[in-house]
C-alpha cells in the first residue's frame, strides 16, 4: 500500500546554493492509498512491464518507463553490487486512488511502496538507511513516503526528523478535478512576490510539534499553515471562496497541502468529516455556478492520520 501525505505546515525559508528552496514542513501520512503489485521472475533479459493500471481519479499516468514505478525498479536493480549475475522480469500493476498532481505525493508514495516491495522480494537485501538514500535519489517526498508517520522535513523537505508524537486527525481533502498546479511556477511566483533575498526563520512547524508534545491542541491547530497560500489564493481567488465555504460547513482549519491544488480541512471526528463532504456534494447540486466549481466537480476524500 502506498499512503498519501499531507503537509500540515509548509514554510519557505529561502533559496539554496543548489537552486532548490530551503523549507520546513510537518508531514503526516493519511489513510488514502494506492496499491502496487509486483510479479518478479528470472529472465534471459532484464525487463520491466507495466501490465495493468486502474484509477478512480483523473490525471495522466505514463504507461512507459518514465513513470516512477518503473524508475524505482531500475534504481533498485542498479544498486546491486553485481547486477549482471542475474536478470529479472518485473511485471507491475498499479491501482490508483490518490489524486494525481495534487500535493499529496501520490507518485512518491508509489515509488516508496515499490522500493519496499522490491526489497521484500529480495530478502531485505538493503538496510532501511540504504533504502532511504535510494528514496532521496528518486524525489524529495519519497524518503518521507518510505518512513511515514509524522515527521519534520527540513532542507529540501527530504531531511527527516522523526517523532514519536502521534495525533489522530480527521480531515476532508478537496481537489478541483480539472485544476493542476506547477510547483516550479509556484516557487517562482512566491520568490517574485516576497523578494528573493527575503530569508526568514521557520517557526510554525516546530511550534506545532511543541504544542502537540504538550497536548495543546488549540495551539497546534493555530500553527497549521502553508506559505504558498498567499500565491495560490491570489492566482485562484475562487479557491479562497472554497476555503471560506469549507469553514462555513464546519472545518476547524483549512490549508493547502504542498503546492496544491488540494486543500485539507480539519474536523473533530469522522461524522463531522462526512457532514462536510455531503455538504460539498449538495453545494455542487444547489449552486453549480459558484466560482469554485469553474474547474469541474470536486474530488473529495474523508481521511484520518
What residues act catalytically? Answer: 5, 141
Q: Which residues contact 218 (CB under 8 A, 6 or more apart)?
A: none
d(CA 150, CA 162): 7
d(CA 57, CA 1): 17
Q: Which residues contact 262 (CB under 8 A, 6 or more apart)?
A: 99, 102, 103, 104, 173, 174, 175, 256
Question: Which residues is 88 bridged to in the sheet?
Answer: 42
d(CA 114, CA 5): 16
What are the grid coordinates assigned to 36, written together?
A: 502496487
What are the grid coordinates assigned to 124, written together?
A: 531485505
Among the residues of 36-179, which ranges form H helices? Answer: 68-78, 106-121, 128-138, 142-147
Question: Which residues is 303 bridged to in the sheet?
Answer: 171
Q: Do strands 88-96 and 47-55 pair parallel, antiparallel, or not at all (unpaired)?
A: parallel
Q: Which residues contact 109 (CB under 8 A, 6 or more apart)?
A: 2, 3, 4, 5, 33, 34, 98, 145
Instruction: Report the candidate in 136, 141, 79, 65 with the shortest Cα–Cα distance to residue 109.
Output: 141
Instruction: Report the candidate in 302, 277, 17 with the shortest Cα–Cα distance to residue 155.
Output: 17
Amino acid at each position: 500500500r502506498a499512503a498519501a501525505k499531507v503537509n500540515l505546515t509548509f514554510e519557505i525559508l529561502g533559496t539554496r546554493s543548489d537552486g532548490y528552496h530551503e523549507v520546513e514542513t510537518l508531514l503526516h501520512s493519511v489513510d488514502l492509498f494506492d496499491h502496487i503489485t509486483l510479479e518478479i521472475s528470472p529472465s534471459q533479459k532484464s525487463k520491466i512491464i507495466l501490465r495493468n493500471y486502474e484509477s478512480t481519479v483523473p490525471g495522466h499516468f505514463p504507461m512507459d518507463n518514465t513513470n516512477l514505478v518503473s524508475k524505482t525498479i531500475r534504481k533498485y536493480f542498479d544498486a546491486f553490487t553485481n547486477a549482471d549475475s542475474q536478470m529479472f522480469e518485473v511485471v507491475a500493476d498499479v491501482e490508483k486512488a490518490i489524486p494525481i498532481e495534487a500535493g499529496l505525493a501520490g507518485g512518491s508514495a508509489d515509488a516508496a511502496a515499490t522500493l519496499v516491495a522490491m526489497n521484500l522480494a529480495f530478502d531485505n537485501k538493503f538496510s532501511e538507511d540504504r533504502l532511504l538514500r535510494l528514496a532521496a535519489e528518486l524525489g524529495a517526498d519519497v524518503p518521507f513516503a518510505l518512513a511515514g508517520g509524522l515527521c519534520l522535513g527540513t532542507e529540501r523537505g527530504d531531511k527527516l526528523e522523526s517523532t514519536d508524537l502521534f495525533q489522530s486527525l480527521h480531515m476532508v481533502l478537496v481537489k478541483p478535478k480539472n485544476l493542476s498546479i506547477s510547483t516550479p511556477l509556484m516557487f517562482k511566483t512566491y520568490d517574485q512576490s516576497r523578494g528573493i533575498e527575503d530569508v526568514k526563520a521557520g517557526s510554525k512547524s516546530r511550534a506545532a510539534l511543541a504544542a502537540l508534545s504538550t497536548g495543546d491542541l488549540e495551539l497546534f491547530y493555530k500553527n497549521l499553515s502553508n506559505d504558498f497560500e498567499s500565491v495560490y489564493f491570489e492566482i485562484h481567488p475562487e479557491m479562497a471562496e472554497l476555503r471560506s465555504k469549507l469553514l462555513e460547513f464546519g472545518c476547524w482549519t483549512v490549508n493547502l497541502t504542498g503546492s496544491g491544488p488540494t486543500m485539507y480541512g480539519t474536523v473533530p471526528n469522522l461524522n463531522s468529516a462526512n457532514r462536510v463532504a455531503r455538504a460539498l456534494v449538495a453545494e455542487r447540486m444547489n449552486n453549480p455556478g459558484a466560482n469554485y466549481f469553474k474547474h469541474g466537480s470536486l474530488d473529495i476524500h474523508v481521511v484520518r492520520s
